[in-house]
Chain A
């Protein structure tokens, strides 16, 4: 089996409303859809960020795969990706590589007639619980950071977040809420999380993610007060290993990260410093499915928890499917899968969509990732294409 063609589409990914985080207010993302065609007539699907830098790098990596057997991804990783990305393009390179490597796994599974989770040792579950991803405040499309801050200036608006969460939860059965913090006003975060706890009771797992927007000193003040709410974890409450380690010594709630530990060389200092409890990994930052498998091994050996992270909470269906296969094959995964569920405005799959039911998504069990693209839908969202063939 040899890769003989590469086709990429940069697509617009519309969100339902504007999403407010510590660093941005966005109404849409862009994603890179990757298709690797083989001489056996198969097409493997991958996805990564559609940022112009990763879009360019994804094209570069995918073209390097031409003529290779997709099953030979490890030498490629070590020979090409490490040299190029470690030394030059860093995180963006690994994100691009992760998208291409996902397409390789899809091909390997399709060729073998097995779902990807079987290539990872088999499934421990056929459904994966997911989170409800909440922006810091509910905003309509086109709103600005100033609009968000105006809402947060009035603590009387806290109820709007609760009402929005209730509406979004609907009948999905989701049992975990992840709140993005704008890291704008600690009191707002405290009041919102308190209100969510009161509204949904102790059985609803709560997480908060200020994307390292608070300084360690600010974080110590806020998160010690949040301790009493019994959150599942604080995600990147502050920046960097040193700050996380200091905070971790002062709070009881576990600390999770997808910002200060996103590459393997960051694990040893994180472990030595006692900076984290949970690593939130994904195929993009860590550079592919095999890398996430290695990450899970390291976490398990050192007593760290592992959870599935979502890149900008914006993977589309291919990325979600890849995450589902990983989550299905990890016995030790105890936390709901990250993502912007269920707010994605329409999927890009041909056939059965990835639907949240009973708080979980069923893992596709067809060969490879078990999904097919709706190319007509992709075409309506495409802003750029690239491709090459042998």
Chain B
């Protein structure tokens, strides 16, 4: 049987978004015994590089297909910050899945069961700001320049009137652009209820995290006309199951890496399909690697067909050309695996640190049995 052994792992700490002095992102490159390289990425929070280093140190010499065994090894050494570790193991798992698909010589979407589309509607993110007119101008620019089909706008909280802001956006953008209002896990349900009432006439696509509790989300879902989305309220498949069990959401806003990696995301897909919950993929803050992963997943699963939120950096981050957009849709990258390969010069320019994990316990010789 053809083995696909992990020869080594590079962890590049990159200044991200570009222009930032310190490291904001870790690019993971896993080298396979077939010469292929699989890519993943993780946000570089405090201590993440060291923990990723510890997790990656188990990889050399292992069979890249044995993901369950790797997760078992990791969970035996689970650190206290379980959620954060899940995001890191998920990032490695994404790189291994990319490696597997490249090894098989097929795009990741085909490796996951085939695609039903080769382009995915694009969503953008508005920074916010209390002034409705300024916000509308910013939004119009995003729609004009990038063709976004949906926009996420953060609540102004006590600093502004979300009803007036969404009304301005609706007037400026017309009826076809989806508006997603992010209340960022509001702690006071009655306040959120008042906001929902004010924005109802603007027909938001959905309202994200209008409460910081599942009970609050469920209550607002019963009272509000708008669809209720949970992101922070359903950070992983287990949280998603609790939210579903509590009748707390209509839409799952998911980052396929933060929720625990592609396998965890696919478990979430199974839950959402079973319980008639939509998925809005979000790759905000991700490079082209995380964005490409989101696009492949969206192209494979119709339930995740809503516009995918991508960061502006995916149009010129670690790739030479960036991802391609046509008519408000991000095009599925061509090629094996994720279909994107970081440009060495760009990575070098962004690099602020690097750790290489190679050989060690067994690359090439003492291979770890399943």
Contacts and interface: CB of A to CB of B under 8 A. Distances in A.
B300 A74 contact: yes
B69 A113 contact: no
Nearest to A370: B1
B68 A290 contact: no
Given A75-B115, A114-B2, A294-B273, A122 B267 contact: no
B263 to A, nearest CB: 7
A351 interface: no
Interface stretch (A147-155, A190-198, A296-304): A296-304
Interface string A294-322: 11011011100000000000000000000
Given A124-B68, A301-B238, A301-B240, A69 B114 contact: yes
A329 B270 CA distance: 17
22 contacts: A69-B110, A71-B111, A71-B113, A72-B115, A73-B113, A73-B114, A74-B113, A114-B2, A114-B65, A121-B67, A122-B65, A122-B69, A123-B66, A268-B275, A271-B245, A294-B274, A297-B237, A297-B267, A297-B270, A298-B271, A301-B238, A329-B68
B114 A72 contact: yes
Contact of A71 (B114, B267, B269, B275): B114
Contacts of B275: 267-268
A113 to B, nearest CB: 4
Interface in A103-156: 111-115, 118-119, 121-124
B304 to A, nearest CB: 12
B119 to A, nearest CB: 15
Nearest to B274: A264
Nearest to B276: A268
Contacts of A122: 63, 65-69, 370
A297 B266 contact: yes
A366 B66 CA distance: 15
Contacts of B241: 301-302
B332 to A, nearest CB: 13
A79 interface: yes
B2 A75 contact: no
Given A268-B274, A297-B237, A301-B238, A79 B116 contact: yes
Interface string A266-298: 011001000000000000000000100111011
Nearest to A71: B110
Interface of A: 69, 71-76, 78-79, 111-115, 118-119, 121-124, 264-265, 267-268, 271, 290, 293-295, 297-298, 300-302, 329, 331, 365-367
Contacts of A331: 68, 72
B106 interface: yes
A121 B113 contact: no
Interface in B231-271: 237-238, 240-241, 245, 263, 266-267, 269-271
A301 B267 contact: yes
A119 B273 CA distance: 22
A301 B116 contact: no
B112 interface: yes
Given A74-B114, A79-B116, A122-B66, A298 B1 contact: no
Contacts of B274: 264-265, 267-268, 294, 298
Interface in B85-120: 103-104, 106, 110-116
A74 B116 contact: yes
B302 interface: yes
Nearest to B275: A268
Contacts of A300: 267
B34 to A, nearest CB: 11
Given A295-B270, A298-B271, A329-B68, A366 B114 contact: no
A71 B65 contact: no
Contacts of A265: 274
B70 to A, nearest CB: 8
Instruction: Report which residue of A113, A124, A298, A366 has the largest number of chain B beta carbons within 10 angstroms of its beta carbon.
Output: A298
B106 A114 contact: no
Nearest to B107: A71
4 cross-chain pairs, A with B, having the tightest CB-CB distances, nearest first: A72-B114, A74-B113, A294-B270, A301-B241
Interface in B23-69: 63, 65-69
B270 A71 contact: no
Nearest to A365: B1
A89 B274 CA distance: 20
Contact of A301 (B63, B237, B301): B237
Contacts of A298: 270-271, 274
A264 B273 contact: yes
Interface in B266-310: 266-267, 269-271, 273-275, 300-302
Nearest to B263: A121
A248 B116 CA distance: 42
Contact of B66 (A118, A268, A367): A118
Contacts of A366: 1
A68 to B, nearest CB: 9
A289 B13 CA distance: 39
Given A71-B114, A119-B65, 4 more contacts: A115-B1, A122-B67, A302-B241, A367-B1
Nearest to B114: A72
B133 to A, nearest CB: 44
A339 to B, nearest CB: 24
A267 B66 CA distance: 30
A121 B271 contact: no
Contacts of A267: 274-275
